[in-house]
Chains A and B, each alone.
Chain A
């Protein structure tokens, strides 16, 4: 073996010796979430160290359901996240298409306002949004309150604008020469070409809605209208509550997303990385 490849091997071993413990530490909370969700409460609150799953998961789900209607809340969360994703993808890709493909009066101003407000903290709009939706529109504890206000997201518009402006103009001009209407060009030429970007955007939006906590906590605080994270959050800090149940809820919120993440990792990472590439 040459000294060069020996040095390479040495570096490779060092790399893995450093990265493996770090990776294990990083996985540990997720692993413990799964372990806790399978343990009875008297096992969680016992002095021994338990690192392997037990078989109490279904009992914990039942305990959780006794503490709060979690299955119902999951149903609301799924319906809201799906509706939100479809609407938001549609709205932001239409706006992105207009900004990428047409010349019109006020275009510069629209782009400047979207860019200019992108780093403003969400906290700034929270109170007026709440007053408007809860008091003026009287829509607290409805699905509309959960779906419509978060539709304003700006990153999606900028992402889709980027996607559409990278497509060659000839594609669309050819259709125009044939006399195809603009909305048909958008629906049947542009959107199919943008499929990978749409997938990335949809995943990120779905995840954002699924995990959203602060807005649903404020606006849908009635038991029957809560989303799953809000319902789970109400249990944290209570005394007579099953922690095994809370962990089972955490697993039900997290594991489906982890599976989606593993299956669609490429789109996921593209969607997140798009934030940085302007």
Chain B
């Protein structure tokens, strides 16, 4: 059923083809007879909701996982290589959602990691030949905005886009025929996204076949050529992007469920009335932490969502980490509901009524080897215990089941290992963990990163409901649209300081007005003249 007969794929041998790929995890079908066909010089989008099987398919194509059934063909020949390294050498490179660079190594060393060119002494290869490695990639690197001196800089000193560029150079250094990009825009600022898209066009001109996984349907238009959509591990269709509306994409992705999440639209809950007179939930005064948080003071009122805006490294995450007691304050005071707290540890912060959804889901969010239920209950274990000490498996399951229904976590059982869930469902479980403490103030750090449209609507609804029910929230989001749509006020940070505040954000953001606010935020975060 896969391809539309009108597409040119019929007579040209696709550079990459997946045939009948099937994969089971612990008895759960992740992929069922999946097909994918990508041409040279094509940007082929891979779409689907959380758990649709996109990541699984990519894992199999890139050699990280083995399929139970099915074949992967490169230029019409089955790939026999086993393992990721061999697959890269065969011509398929992958750029993963999470950056996979070694922070302490230089850009050059990262690019050649595991594939170093060696200098031979007496016929024995002894040392890495840095000069030859640099010559090999210098031109390519400069095409992607990396100057040759930057090749010797440790990766940890670069921002998100530059890291992404290094990953792209790393992927291209060995002339791949196919490049897979798994959510390449996550963590990038708006301007960086635009440059990344330029890079992708350049690659298409170089006749590389690109497979592009994204949850941002609006990014597809004008960039992707075709799209293959998965639903519940099966092919839902392959279409030409130019002839398909966003609405049609959503129908492909979610089928009949699509109508349901229209009801989840909670924009009407956004409040216009100023909340300055509402009781103060959190009051931060003169927060300092070394040079990363400097003299930050703000209040969060009952029913209010405060957005933190700023470029990467502006100190947004650092501010909320000090609130949670994850990093020590050098000075400053924090009050919750009028009571002074000194969060020395996250335990104290949770007890005071704060809860945080961390930015880095894999590293800081989930505890991969524990069950979904154990991940949810962890923030407040005593509610599922006898005598506050013995964990009751039954109560823990019941708690998890409640959240599974409420948040729509897709899993056959709550006792399954959370590491096996798709990103969006992991995120929902971590949200459940936060809600489990009945927090007064919820801190969401990039809550919708890497999750699909329907889960995103759910998370937005949750934030709005939390505020409407008298709670308060702090939101960090790289996407300004998202930030402005959800927040009552936005604080703009730069180099650890609050450099401005955006108030009176209109309820429904009309296109023209929105651009105005957005450019105001951008101007503040870049120029940083104290407003």
Partners in one complex: no
